[in-house]
Amino acid sequence: MIWNEAIECADRSEIEKIQLEKLKKVVAHAYENQMPYRKKMEAAGVKPEDIQTLADITKLPFVTKDDLAENYPTGMWAVDKHDIVRVHASSGTTGKPKIAGYTRNDLEMWGECVARCLAMAGADQDSVVQVAYGYGLFTGGLGAHIGAEKMGCMVIPMSSGNTQKQLMFMQDMKTNILCCTPSYALTLAEAAEHAGLKPENLHLTGGVFGAEPWTEGMRWEIEKRLGLKAHDIYGLSEIMGPGVSASCDENAGMHIQDDYFYVEVLDPDTLEPVPDGEKGELVITTIGKEGMPMIRYRTRDICYITHEPCACGRTTTRMSRVFGRTDDMLIIRGVNVFPSQVETVIARFENKLTMNYKLYVGREDNKDTFELAVELADGLAIDDIKYVEALKADIDRELRSILGIGCKIRLLNPGTLPRSEGKAKRVEDTRNL
Amino acid sequence: MFIKQVSVFLENTKGRLAEITRLLADNNVDLKAMSIAETADFGILRVIVEDPENAVAILKGKGFIASITDVVAVELNDRPGGFADVLEILAKEGINVNYVYSTIHSKKDTAMIVLKVEEPGKVIDILGANGVKLYKATEL
């Protein structure tokens, strides 16, 4: 099902007309009501009336996560607090969260966007949607929730964790659409297998997975083990939350809600646009948001886009999966490696490993060395060398499948790695290149 | 007649073994038997102590991965072939031995060996039936 055919399948020229109109409006709104951005525009010598075409967007200054930190907590909000009805937050780099405020219209827009994404995963009014993203400040839970409710589904607001109960509801309420992180989907699959459940004992048909990077390999595994079609959903709390884009049955990139988000892909160094199909940093302008409009927000996420129509019938811009983030990419033996990818692998060993890890990159004999040190989970019982060697081999195999390169693995007792107050320092790169 | 052995995961870094043995000593834990299985980057320390639960609690309190494994301690005649006698009994019954090590103290003319096997209960029955003396932890 296509939730909003009039928009999602409109001619590109029609979409662009809507985008330009809304872009002008949001720039005027920011200029009038978002003082930090007005100052940036003044410094750049650009006025709202300078925006006459979509290409004119390049005249506008960027917004980064630093702007959110500098204007903490609500300096980037562009409406009176009276009009804010919801707050979400995500962790910032300096310890202070990034706090987003939503007006009633913003929530309405969010619901519309997520409903479109759920429809891509096969949901309709008769669906039973189990939301196993965390509820709270994190946008995952309430974001999926608002879309499913807007669609008229039966929503089960499970939040994350409580795996046995998740399985019980899945069976007893005949859940057909599951929303959670891909790593949690695998945890659920594992728990279901331990409980002797086969995919056909569950009623799942579609999954909407996001909030962390994952791979095609993980997709196949989830699909096979849970007996559903796995869909990608993308979003970030500064922009809105999940629902900025999602993948349809064609699995050919994620459809961006073009009437709410104008996207650019730029070379992260020169900040010049790159052609369709070429990787770069995703920059998003929210063209429909009131509470905290973001103009040319640098997401730091690396992906590519295409404007070709999709075989599903939708004509919206599609983005590839996110390959990683510009701020933490490492190049090891010529391969791009993102700590987030390593984290994804560690998360799959949740009963055996903790998320306390560190990557060591060095150089010996003109070759890069790459080592992962990770703390074992409390409560493990280890009496056997073979057990540890097998665990290391499992981790190595998963890392290779995601990163494409091998990595030396060092397992540590809990509490061995240094702890930090702010963002953990995950990488120690001692190469002097 | 199981003996509860304490197994501890250890990084193979300088001073780590000293740290752990000092920790046990500071808590008045006497080592009755010990062995280390090691690889290039980690090892597993196995010790027999009087109060294994307490030792595990102390170790876990300091962040070590520590756990209890059931093992069997047997007396051997201190003569050539004493150990082979015991192993042959087990081999005949199709029992695999995962690892062995000896205790720190032993009585005159005997040796004491700690055995880790898959089914310690069955092994106790077999060895008992064959007249092999088995020890309790307090006797070590």
**Could you read off the pLDDT of B10-28 as tens digits, one per residue?**
998 899 999 999 999 999 9
Range of the domain at A410: 329-429
Amino acid sitting at position B43? G
Residue where one domain finishes, among candidates B19, B37, B68:
B68
d(CA A223, CA A220): 5
The CATH number covering residue B33 comes to 3.30.2130.10
d(CA B20, CA A324): 41
Same domain, B95 and B58: no
CB A388 within 8 A of CB B9: yes
Give the β-pairing of A367-376 and A353-364: antiparallel
d(CA A293, CA A68): 12
Q: Is B121 on the interface with A (CB under 8 A)?
A: no
Same domain, A210 and A290: yes
Residue B130's CB is within 10 A of a number of other CB atoms, namely 14
Same domain, B56 and B76: no
Give strand pairing partners of A361. Answer: A370, A429
How many Cβ pairs closer than 8 A exist between chain A and B?
51
Same domain, A168 and A233: yes
User: What are the mean pLDDT values of chain A's consecutive 10-residue runs (433 residues total)?
Assistant: 96 97 98 97 97 97 93 97 95 72 98 98 98 93 98 96 94 97 85 92 96 78 94 95 97 97 93 95 97 96 95 97 78 79 86 89 88 92 93 94 88 84 72 72
Partners of B98 on chain A (C-beta within 8 Å) are 384
Using CA atoms of A207, A303, A325, A228 in order, give the dihedral in degrees to the nearest 10. 10
pLDDT of residue A213: 67
Residue where one domain finishes, among candidates A326, A352, A370:
A326
> How far A375 CA lies from chain B's nearest CA (Å)?
10
Same domain, B10 and B62: yes
N-terminal to C-terminal alpha carbon distance within chain B: 12
Average pLDDT on B92-119 reads 87
Structure tokens at A432: 């002097």
Considering CB atoms only, which of A376, A410, A415 is closest to B9?
A376
CB B7 within 8 A of CB B60: no
Residue where one domain finishes, among candidates A326, A356, A387:
A326
Same domain, A402 and A317: no
Task: List the single best residue of B7, B8, B41, B58 to mutate versus A (max A Cβ within 10 A).
Answer: B41
At residue B109, does pLDDT exceed 80? no
Phi-psi region of A322 (alpha: psi -120 to 50; beta: other; left: phi over 0): beta
Q: Which of residues 377-406 of A touch B (CB under 8 A)?
A: 378, 380-385, 388-389
Average pLDDT on B70-87 reads 88
Q: Is B14 on the interface with A (CB under 8 A)?
A: no
Same domain, B43 and B90: no
In terms of pLDDT, which residue wins out, B105 or B132? B132
Strand order in the sheet with A206-210: A154-156, A128-131, A177-180, A206-210, A229-236, A241-247, A254-256, A318-319, A305-306
N-terminal to C-terminal alpha carbon distance within chain A: 52
With CA atoms as reference, the chain A residue closest to B44 would be A383
d(CA A179, CA A175): 11
Q: Is A374 on the interface with B (CB under 8 A)?
A: no
Same domain, A418 and A280: no
Question: Would you place residue B60 in the very low, low, confident or very high pLDDT band (cuts 50, 70, 90)?
Answer: very high
How many domains is chain A built from? 2
- Is residue A55 exposed (0-12), middle (13-18) or buried (19+ Cβ within 10 Å)? exposed
d(CA A248, CA A65): 30
Share above pLDDT 90 across residues of chain B, in percent, rounded to a whole number: 61
Same domain, B44 and B79: no
Same domain, A315 and A342: no
Q: What is the largest CA-CA distance in chain A?
A: 72
Same domain, B75 and B62: no
Average pLDDT on B101-105 reads 85
At residue B91, does pLDDT exceed 70? yes
d(CA A308, CA B43): 56
The CATH number covering residue A64 comes to 3.40.50.12780
Give strand pairing partners of B11. Answer: B42
Q: Give me Rg for the CA atoms of chain B.
A: 16
Same domain, A186 and A226: yes
How many domains is chain B built from? 2
Same domain, A313 and A219: yes
Range of the domain at B27: 3-68
Considering CB atoms only, which of A382, A412, A414 is closest to B44?
A382
Same domain, B134 and B80: yes
Give strand pairing partners of A131. Answer: A179
Residue where one domain finishes, among candidates B21, B40, B68:
B68
Same domain, A120 and A40: yes
Same domain, A317 and A333: no
Residue where one domain finishes, among candidates B68, B87, B122:
B68
Put simply, the answer to whether A413 touches B64 (Cβ < 8 Å) is: yes
d(CA A255, CA A319): 7
